[in-house]
Amino acid sequence: MTFNFLILFFTALLAGCLAYFIPRWDERYFKLVLVFAGSYLFAITVLHILPELFVESSDPTKMGFYILLGFLLQQILALLSTGVEHGHIHHPDHQHHGMQVGVWTIMIGLFLHAFLEGTLLTEDGSLAGHLHEHDEHAGHSHHHHGSNNLLFGILLHKGPEAFALVAVLMVSIKKRWVFALLVVFAFASPMGMVLSNYMYESNILGREGLNVFYGMVAGGFLHISTTIFFESSPDHRFYFNKVLISILAFGLAVLLEMLL
């Protein structure tokens, strides 16, 4: 738990600082990293999160409904955040809103998304870290199969997300305020994890309630990862290097899903 908290926080902070200290970043290079992280996110959603949710759910159709709801919620959050969570680097000065309003709406949209994302890492929840029956019989504690891969996928996604946030904010506000907001953002997912963990352990939130969150985050991940696919080739052209990167990401996700 402490490890997850720290690694989530520092991955966001360091990735954000990368954009903070290297203002003249190469957009093409960022796009390739983004496609890799997006493909990986899509892969763990399809390989890990969705199968587990449907297997554990007593009512799979209801679970499908939560996934759709999460997809729609992410559509709304992306309006607020201007798409920072899928690595979209818009320039707020092109917007009609006042500058400050732009920054706050971006922060609210992105914070809510990252907070929800953190709930996926609830300990003893169905997705991260509960015991397999045969492990219990074997008498030793064992992390749930693939749960480290889930964390890895979220960290991969967190990097470009933080990078894009800083790149977007740097256009409109002073550097030290950008840093302050980066720190606030870096706390969002760890806070979501701690709060959902607390609510689960004190029985405020049952397994069913937790699964509602999981389904909604999965829907959000489908939205984010597919948007990355579409935006990486806006003119419908076939970019061989991007397809190659997707194949690499899928391959690594499958491999780590089996190994971790």
Interface with Zn ion by CB under 5 A: which residues?
Answer: 83, 85, 88, 117, 161
**Cross-strand bridge partners of residue 123:** 128
As a whole number of Å, the end-to-end CA separation of the chain is: 17
Residue closer to Zn ion, measured from CB, 88 or 145? 88
Residue closer to Zn ion, measured from CB, 115 or 130? 115
Tokens of 128: 């991260």
- Give me the least distance between CB of 114 and Zn ion, in Å please: 5
Residue closer to Zn ion, measured from CB, 9 or 57? 9
State the helix-helix crossing angle for 147-172 and 2-21, rounded to 10 degrees.
30
Cβ proximity of 149 and 129 under 8 Å: no
CA-CA-CA-CA torsion sign (119, 123, 125, 129): positive
- Give me the least distance between CB of 3 and Zn ion, in Å please: 19
Residue closer to Zn ion, measured from CB, 83 or 146? 83
Residue closer to Zn ion, measured from CB, 36 or 130? 36
DSSP, res 88: -
- Give me the least distance between CB of 59 and Zn ion, in Å please: 27
Residue closer to Zn ion, measured from CB, 146 or 192? 192
- Give me the least distance between CB of 154 and Zn ion, in Å please: 7
State which amino acid sits at residue 73.
L
Tokens of 241: 């290097």
CA 199 from centroid of its chain's CA atoms: 21
C-alpha dihedral, 147 to 258 to 8 to 5, nearest 10°: 40
- Give me the least distance between CB of 42 and Zn ion, in Å please: 13
- Give me the least distance between CB of 140 and Zn ion, in Å please: 33
State which amino acid sits at residue 183.
V
Between CA 102 and CA 159 the distance in angstroms is 22
